[in-house]
Amino acid sequence: MIEATALTKAYGDTTAVNELTFTARSGRVTGFLGPNGAGKSTTMRLVVGLDTPDAGTVLVDGVPYRELEDPLRTVGTMLDAAWRHPGRGGRDHLRWLAATNGIPDKRVDEVLALVGLTSVGKTRAGRYSLGMLQRLGIAAALLGDPRVLLFDEPVNGLDPEGMAWIRQLLHSLAAEGRTVFVSSHLLPEMAQTAQDLVVIGRGRLIYQGTMDEFVARTSRHGVRVRTPHADELRTALTGQVEFTEEDGAFVVSGVDSDRIGQLAFDAGATLHELSPIAGSLEQSYLDLTREAVEFGAAPEVAR
């Protein structure tokens, strides 16, 4: 479990993380979402003690990272997937990591197999594709068989097959009872991967809860209605439900099609169309974070 409480970190005039409080539970994939510059990477660095907060605390399984007795066996991280060691083979890199952390050599072959790199273990990492580097980074994170895993943008630059692979891996790691905390700025990808969600903007918490709640809360369920009896329907809807009129159709929000069908029937309006509009999750997310993006963009322009 990761528990951040009022976590705050500023770099000069920029408050990268601002009184951020959230929990990532064990046995769940928690998506950590926010627009560029929202403070995701900074938060992750704070979790693993690579940076020191100005205020607030963050605990990993109840303990600050720097006080963990055996950090690599408690927390696995992939914070910079593009890291590479051109001269060394993937397997040798992992062996070096294992040796410096008292992890037996046989674990190296286990994790190589787990990420599907066995056949290229001897190939120099400098020749790895981005997808292979991601897999190597994940292998390194898994070396110590940790209970908590942090991945910063692990699907960045991956092809659909690579994305599907990572998604499945994250699910199985969580199913084993681990805490899986994964950042992204892509909501559609997260919607398929994460069970829980922490959304931030400008370093502040915007949403924390389950993905299902987020979808239910943010996707606007509208219904598109067409009728030759527009006046009757307008009268029936006015004061009852929220609606707009677009291209000769009514778009009603906040109620389901059963209720609208009944209102129309009672008003004597024949319906030529009564179709639910699936709310766009991506649009809702953009709406939610727009203010954060606009505010955040201003200093960039001023520079």
Ligand X SMILES: Nc1ncnc2c1ncn2[C@@H]1O[C@H](COP(=O)(O)OP(=O)(O)OP(=O)(O)O)[C@@H](O)[C@H]1O
Of 36-44, 78-86, 104-112, 169-177, which part binds ligand X (CB under 6 A)? 36-44
Q: Which of 31, 39, 154, 201 binds ligand X (CB under 6 A)?
A: 39
* Minimum CB–partner distance for residue 124 and ligand X (Å): 28
Q: Which of 185, 187, 201, 214 binds ligand X (CB under 6 A)?
A: 185
Contact 89, 135 (CB under 8 A): no
Q: Which of 5, 8, 14, 156 binds ligand X (CB under 6 A)?
A: 14
CA distances to 9, 200, 274, 299 from 13, in Å:
11, 19, 52, 10
Rg of the chain over Cα atoms, rounded to whole angstroms, equals: 24
Q: Give yes or no for residue 201 binding ligand X (CB under 6 A).
A: no
Q: How far apart are CA 112 and CA 254, in angstroms?
A: 50
Q: Give yes or no for residue 42 binding ligand X (CB under 6 A).
A: yes
Show the binding pattern over residues 127-166: x = contacts ligand X (CB under 6 A), - = does not.
----------------------------------------
Q: Which residues of 17-54 are buried (b: 16+ CB within 10 A; e: fewer)?
A: bbebbbbbbbebbbbbbbbebbbbbbbbbbbbbebebe
Of 9-17, 61-69, 73-81, 99-107, which part binds ligand X (CB under 6 A)? 9-17
To which residue do tokens 């593009």 refer?
82
Q: Give yes or no for residue 38 binding ligand X (CB under 6 A).
A: yes
Q: Give yes or no for residue 41 binding ligand X (CB under 6 A).
A: yes
- Number of chain residues interacting with ligand X (CB under 6 A): 12
* Minimum CB–partner distance for residue 82 and ligand X (Å): 12
* Minimum CB–partner distance for residue 153 and ligand X (Å): 7
Whichever of 14 and 123 has its CB closer to ligand X, that residue is 14
DSSP structure string for 109-128: HHHHHHTT-GGGTTSBGGG-
* Minimum CB–partner distance for residue 55 and ligand X (Å): 16
Whichever of 11 and 96 has its CB closer to ligand X, that residue is 11
Whichever of 215 and 293 has its CB closer to ligand X, that residue is 293
Whichever of 9 and 95 has its CB closer to ligand X, that residue is 9
Q: Give yes or no for residue 37 binding ligand X (CB under 6 A).
A: yes
Q: Give yes or no for residue 16 binding ligand X (CB under 6 A).
A: yes
Q: Which of 18, 22, 40, 93 binds ligand X (CB under 6 A)?
A: 40
Q: Which residues of 140-153 are buried (b: 16+ CB within 10 A; e: fewer)?
A: bbbbbebbbbbbbb
| H/E stretch holding 97 | helix 90-100
Taking the CA atoms of residue 103, residue 152, residue 57 and residue 197 in that order, the dihedral angle to the nearest 10 degrees is: -120
Structure tokens at 200: 């931030």
| H/E stretch holding 180 | strand 179-184
Contact 178, 27 (CB under 8 A): yes
- In 3D space, the residue among 11, 7, 10 whose CA is nearest the CA of residue 20 turns out to be 7
Q: Give yes or no for residue 8 binding ligand X (CB under 6 A).
A: no
Contacts 24+ apart (CB under 8 A), 237-241: 237/263
Of 8-16, 108-116, 129-137, 224-232, which part binds ligand X (CB under 6 A)? 8-16
* Minimum CB–partner distance for residue 32 and ligand X (Å): 9
Q: Give yes or no for residue 34 binding ligand X (CB under 6 A).
A: yes
Instruction: List residues binding ligand X (CB under 6 A).
Output: 11, 14, 16, 34, 36-42, 185
